[in-house]
Homo-oligomer: A and B are copies of this chain.
């Protein structure tokens, strides 16, 4: 590893000299600034060896540093060479401070397609210079080709609205804002707006590309034309043209004198620079798809409910299987995750996992973003806590569920049942919350934590994230967390409800269902209220529940939920082939 990465650094430093730069900045993200990147854009991993999902490298002529956050402290140490790289914490020792200390005044190059204007603002005090050519690509001789999977149409029976009507609605919004066009740089926005899906990256069904939506509801997609088979082009219709990536700058130049909506927080700064140079007027505003995509229509809501029945059936078969298999100690974190995937694969419309399953036995459950590998894999033992956080992509919906179980056969100890029940109490408090329209996720976050707080416990992650409809399992623009996000919760939004508790080196507890925001009906009230419909269907492990720690309303919620789980799933299980699962389900959903 060492010599290979040393050679890469030497080659990149030659590029620095060639371009008259003192340093170069390599972010983790690709030009869509999203969570997952294809192999062709894994530049941070190529140059440094670090494969985590958040990070950044800076290479100077005489030193280099690679940054990531607390989730990846150990992985950063393991994957990068200490002789070549300073390993730093993104927020505790941020790159902008590192540059000030180590490269004051030096010209630092960056690729303007890979950073947002908001990101760049942190480096205001530095001497930053956009470089048109990507210097990592210049030295990356065996760089994989960009993904070339076909974009295919997603049927209206799943999307519930034709692209034409979506574009008409968004175009009307542009016109009412005095905007002539909007940029779309998030492939999930293209997927939603044009009702297309692809397989360019793992876990999220995206076809990578950009688009411009015009105020007359026409649009230009910028994507390799060979990714658009004839049926997809027919599906797109006459108002949408498919153009090669290379024509994008020219299309932006045609916006001279026009007002273009652009989000400096989420879009590459290259678009801003190019538009301004072309004489277009920038109108700051969020991606116009972001909010409508989050508010699922009736078809998408119905789809996700049926997808969750299939996912619940897989979970029931898995949990029943695990209840039988776990006490023997013969299964491992990897084999259990594989078994769950096998059960899911039987489901109609199943397309794959929505993220790499977190399968953590005992102390591994306490690693919040644990990803089991052949090296870390360990048996699931008798009488311990096992946590599995997983999800699937179905044509009609995306799922994400976490269950924490006691493997038995002995009874769970009281000191584990207590925090488990407090996590459950928080989960239920959020699930049964009613709240006025206009409320943000940040305002509800404490409801999920209060029961843990009462015992001096907490969890160091958000309570919930948005979830797409056969799209990204992490979707904006809202969330439920301590950090305030300005967009209020609105009907049709799907979020996760996943409080947890983690005892380092011992165990992890997380209980996650997806919840759908719905109007709440109060005949006597003028003010509009909302509530959550829980759409995930799987029992919570009764062996870990201490009823004395739940309020009577919480016990009532749990019993009603379990009865619903039994009713909904049993109807989809086969009396003969699923006899064991049915027997397990009947027992697992008994009232408390």
Contacts and interface: CB of A to CB of B under 8 A. Distances in A.
A432 B553 CA distance: 18
Contacts of A247: none
Interface string A401-429: 00000000000000000000000000001
Interface in A528-587: 529, 551-553
22 contacts: A429-B450, A432-B454, A434-B450, A434-B454, A434-B455, A435-B446, A435-B449, A435-B450, A436-B458, A442-B443, A442-B484, A443-B445, A444-B446, A446-B446, A446-B447, A447-B447, A456-B522, A456-B524, A458-B527, A484-B484, A551-B552, A551-B553
A525 B484 CA distance: 26
Contacts of A446: 435, 439, 443-444, 446-447
Interface in A438-496: 439, 442-447, 449-450, 453-458, 482, 484
Interface string A256-272: 00000000000000000
Interface string A29-53: 0000000000000000000000000
Copies per assembly:
2
Interface in A316-368: none
A463 to B, nearest CB: 12
A78 interface: no
Contacts of A435: 446, 449-450, 453
Given A551-B551, A552-B552, A553-B551, A522 B447 contact: no
A447 B451 CA distance: 11
Contact of A434 (B456, B484, B529, B552): B456
Interface centre among A447, A457, A553 (most CB of B within 10 A): A457
A450 B447 contact: yes
Nearest to A526: B456
A520 interface: yes
Contacts of A553: 551
Interface string A12-43: 00000000000000000000000000000000
Nearest to A554: B551
Nearest to A527: B458
A545 to B, nearest CB: 17
Contact of A456 (B429, B453, B455, B520): B520
Contacts of A525: 456-457
A552 B552 CA distance: 8
A260 to B, nearest CB: 24
A433 interface: yes
Contacts of A453: 433-436, 529
Given A435-B450, A456-B520, A552-B552, 16 more contacts: A433-B450, A433-B453, A434-B450, A434-B453, A434-B454, A435-B449, A435-B453, A443-B482, A444-B446, A446-B446, A455-B522, A456-B529, A457-B525, A458-B527, A551-B552, A551-B553
Nearest to A457: B525
Closest 6 CB pairs of A and B: A456-B522, A456-B525, A434-B453, A551-B551, A443-B446, A434-B454
A491 to B, nearest CB: 15
Contacts of A433: 450, 453
A457 B435 CA distance: 9
A286 to B, nearest CB: 20
Contact of A442 (B442, B450, B455): B442
Interface centre among A442, A446, A524 (most CB of B within 10 A): A446
Nearest to A440: B482
A232 B259 CA distance: 65
A63 B551 CA distance: 61
Interface in A193-240: none
A436 B525 CA distance: 35
A447 B450 CA distance: 8
A153 B71 CA distance: 55
Contacts of A450: 429, 433-435, 447
Nearest to A435: B453
A439 B429 CA distance: 19
Interface string A284-319: 000000000000000000000000000000000000
A524 B527 CA distance: 44
Contacts of A445: 443
Contacts of A429: 450
Contacts of A482: 443
A504 to B, nearest CB: 10
A425 B522 CA distance: 20
A316 B436 CA distance: 36
A363 to B, nearest CB: 18
